[in-house]
Amino acid sequence: MGNTTTEKKVLISILGVQRYEDYDDSIEVVAPGRYYIKNDKTYITYKERHEGEDEDTTTTIKIDGQKVSIMRFGSINSNMTFELNKKHTTYYDTKQGALIVSVFAKKMNINLHDGEGELEVVYGLEMDHVSMGINSFHIKIHPIEQGGASIPLQPYNMDEHQISPQ
């Protein structure tokens, strides 16, 4: 049952957007990574170093049907799960301390095939039981062998989805 497809080297472009009251912020990350399928689940992994940190954080994104899990290990440790209209609570560990984080996926779009495509999630966020607004991430993946280049990403229009995690 340990069926693993051939691993592919990919270029991963990530646009993350945070919106809380009058505060908007976005971050874009472009990194080489790996794409593979194991036991009918899709995995995307990459490493990044956060500003001011001495060690890398390894991020693994697991897609299991319509459920997306993002596991991070290194300077930041977390395991966040996103399922449409479901609330998931976990710990988010940093060197400054741990927070209780809850996410509630409002919109999900998963379109990945054979080492390329995109993944988008719009979600409500709570930290220590306090609403922190609406966030989103949009990930595009391109095989490096095909000269995959970073493509500008457009954030999802979150004005239409003002929600509170429940």
Q: Is the pLDDT of residue 112 over 90?
A: yes
Looking at residue 93, its amino acid is D
Share of the chain above pLDDT 90, in %: 55
**145 φψ region: left (φ > 0), alpha (ψ -120 to 50), beta (else):** alpha
Given a contact cutoff of 8 angstroms between Cβ atoms, the answer to whether 80 and 88 are in contact is yes
Residue carrying the six token digits 């899990």 = 69
Structural tokens at position 10: 């990919």
Q: Which of 43, 79, 80, 36 is nearest to 64 (CA)?
A: 43
Structural tokens at position 70: 């993002």
- Coil/strand/helix, residue 58: strand
DSSP per position, 99-131: EEEEEEEEEEEEEEETTEEEEEEEEEEEETTEE
Give the torsion sign (CA, 4, 7, 8, 11).
Answer: positive
Looking at residue 61, its amino acid is I
Q: Is the pLDDT of residue 36 over 50?
A: yes
- Coil/strand/helix, residue 143: strand
Fold of 8-72+108-123+133-159: Lipocalin (2.40.128)
State the chain's mean pLDDT as an integer.
84
Confidence of residue 5 (pLDDT cuts 50, 70, 90): low
Q: Which residues lie across from 108 on neighbouring strands?
A: 121
Average pLDDT over residues 55-75: 93
Q: What is the pLDDT of residues 118-166, one digit of tens each?
A: 999 999 999 888 899 999 999 999 998 644 444 444 444 444 444 434 4
